[in-house]
């Protein structure tokens, strides 16, 4: 068995821990059948991005512009033009958890050959005014609304993908974004307005054109730049975050947040069923833990895993699955799957606040440490097909006591050992994730 060394120094701060363990969509899904509220609290998901909510077509009632504002010919400033009812309930459920909302203003992806709602708006300004009144409803109480203080508002989703998301000339999208973002920023200068939620950091032609349009004439506001990726190698996600960071610096948007708000494991889009098997597995959990660790060490500011909707349990939702079916409007139990515990483990470090020094020369392991002065934690992901022995050496604490928790085939982040010395040997099966929680004094 391979033996690998990991060194941690809790007395050496590196950076603030970042909220990269967000998810797409809320805890109560499937037309309110599935309630994962307590699981959302347990994992501490910091963000919930709303996209493909109640797929397909937002079930005609949820989140999408076409669901909230069903008739584009109606006046944008009339409360009677809007259908907020189901979206209100969906958002209220999210706010029962620690998650903050990233509201995607736009449309759910459409895979059917006949497109319904993904055509570019025929009137950009009116669309902007509709978005404005949606924001006013949720943040300013307009139309019997709320004061939810939703900070992040994203304009559209994956316009570079093609007709599934933007059934028009993709080169028109930056002009649409510029007009809408400029209007919204004038209305709400303290909110974060951004996009374009592109498919991949390698969409270079689209990205270049996007920034060229934004910087020509009056510069368009861009509080955050959002992008997506479905990488099998966690290191590719952090590399892509650096690509986006370079674009932001190149075009003078160096204060713009770097948001990776769709990610998961996809080996091949042509054989997606094989990836679905991984997404829900222990290997998927190790991939999630490795990706979260890589994102913490990258320029990414916020990230959101795709997806937390229980109805996606056989595809992109590796976190949850449904229990036994019930009838007459009763809630169906939501069960946790292995990848859920990777997020829960990362949250233990996130709550400590400050990343601490951790080193491992082996490429086989992903390692991260965090501390708050008296307590510390170490997260290790063995995203390989080989068992390893980890020699963990801890410094920076006196009289350290450690509890070792394991996520593997037989444990769901359960405590498996206690260590009373700063050096310990931990046996990790393939694709295992280990959390070490330490107490001591500096």
Measured distance CA(47)–CA(274) in Å, rounded? 28
Strand ranges, E, within 66-184: 100-105, 152-155
252-277 pLDDT, tens per residue? 999 999 999 999 999 999 999 999 99
Measured distance CA(371)–CA(9) in Å, rounded? 9
Q: Find, among 9, 21, 11, the residue nearest to 348 by Cα.
A: 21
Token code pair at residue 156:
């559209």
Mean pLDDT per block of 10 residues along the chain (442 residues) reads 93 98 98 97 99 97 99 98 99 99 99 97 98 99 99 99 97 99 99 99 98 98 99 98 99 98 98 97 99 99 99 97 84 96 99 98 91 96 97 93 98 97 97 97 62
Q: What is the predicted pLDDT for the residue at 278?
A: 98
DSSP class of residue 220? Answer: P
Contacts of the segment 263-270: beta carbons below 8 A, 24+ positions apart: 263/228, 263/229, 263/230, 263/231, 263/237, 263/291, 263/303, 263/304, 263/305, 263/306, 264/230, 264/305, 264/306, 264/307, 264/316, 264/318, 265/230, 265/231, 265/232, 266/230, 266/231, 266/232, 267/232
Q: What is the predicted pLDDT for the residue at 330?
A: 82
Q: Write the burial class of residue 324 (CB in 10 Å: 0-12 exposed, 13-18 middle, 19+ buried).
A: exposed
Q: What is the predicted pLDDT for the residue at 292?
A: 99
Asked if 388 contacts 365 with a C-beta cutoff of 8 angstroms, the reply is: yes
Q: Residues 6 or more apart from 170 whose CB is under 8 A from it?
A: 159, 160, 162, 206
- Peptide bond between residue 182 and the one before it cis (omega within 30 degrees of 0): no
Q: Write the burial class of residue 172 (CB in 10 Å: 0-12 exposed, 13-18 middle, 19+ buried).
A: middle
Q: What is the predicted pLDDT for the residue at 441?
A: 67
Asked if 169 contacts 118 with a C-beta cutoff of 8 angstroms, the reply is: no
What's this model's pTM, rounded to 2 decimal places?
0.97
Could you give the maximum distance between any two Cα atoms of the chain, in Å? 70
Domains along the chain? Answer: 2-13+353-441 (2.60.40.1180), 18-348 (3.20.20.80)
């Amino acid at each position: 068995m391979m033996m690998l060394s990991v060194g941690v120094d809790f007395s050496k701060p590196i950076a603030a821990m970042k909220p990269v363990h967000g998810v797409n969509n809320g805890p109560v899904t499937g037309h309110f059948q599935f309630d994962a509220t307590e699981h959302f609290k347990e994992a501490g998901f910091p963000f919930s991005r709303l996209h493909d909510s109640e797929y397909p077509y937002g079930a005609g009632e949820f989140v999408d512009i076409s669901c909230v504002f069903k008739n584009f010919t109606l006046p944008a400033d009339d409360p009677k033009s809007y259908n907020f009812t189901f979206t209100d309930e969906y958002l209220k459920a999210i706010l029962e958890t620690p998650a903050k909302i990233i509201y995607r203003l736009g449309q759910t992806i459409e895979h059917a050959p006949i497109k319904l709602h993904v055509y570019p708006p025929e009137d950009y300004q009116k669309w902007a005014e509709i978005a404005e009144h949606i924001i006013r409803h949720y943040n300013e109480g307009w139309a019997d609304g709320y004061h939810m203080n939703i900070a992040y508002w994203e304009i559209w989703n994956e316009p570079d993908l093609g007709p599934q998301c933007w059934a028009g000339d993709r080169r028109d999208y930056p002009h649409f974004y510029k007009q809408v973002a400029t209007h919204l920023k004038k209305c709400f200068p303290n909110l974060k307005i951004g996009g374009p939620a592109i498919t991949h950091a390698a969409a270079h032609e689209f990205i270049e054109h996007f920034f060229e349009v934004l910087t020509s004439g009056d510069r368009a506001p861009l509080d955050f730049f959002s992008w997506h990726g479905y990488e099998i190698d966690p290191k590719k996600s952090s590399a892509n975050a650096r690509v986006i960071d370079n674009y932001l610096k190149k075009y003078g948007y160096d204060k713009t947040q770097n948001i990776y708000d769709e990610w998961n494991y996809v080996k091949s889009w042509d054989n997606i069923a094989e990836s679905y098997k991984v997404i829900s597995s222990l290997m998927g959990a190790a991939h999630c833990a490795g990706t979260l660790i890589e994102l913490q060490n990258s320029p990414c500011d916020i990230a959101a895993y795709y997806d937390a909707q229980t109805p996606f349990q056989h595809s992109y939702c590796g976190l949850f699955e449904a229990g036994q079916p019930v009838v007459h409007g009763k809630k169906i139990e939501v069960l946790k799957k292995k990848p859920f515990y990777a997020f829960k483990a990362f949250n233990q470090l996130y709550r400590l606040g400050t990343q601490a020094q951790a080193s491992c020369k082996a490429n086989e392991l992903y390692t991260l440490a965090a501390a708050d002065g008296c307590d510390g934690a170490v997260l290790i992901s063995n995203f390989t097909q080989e068992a390893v022995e980890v020699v963990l050496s801890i410094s920076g604490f006196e009289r350290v006591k450690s509890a070792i928790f394991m996520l593997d085939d037989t444990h769901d982040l359960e405590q498996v050992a206690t260590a009373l010395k700063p050096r310990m040997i931990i046996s990790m099966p393939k694709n295992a994730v280990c959390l070490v929680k330490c107490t001591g004094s500096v």
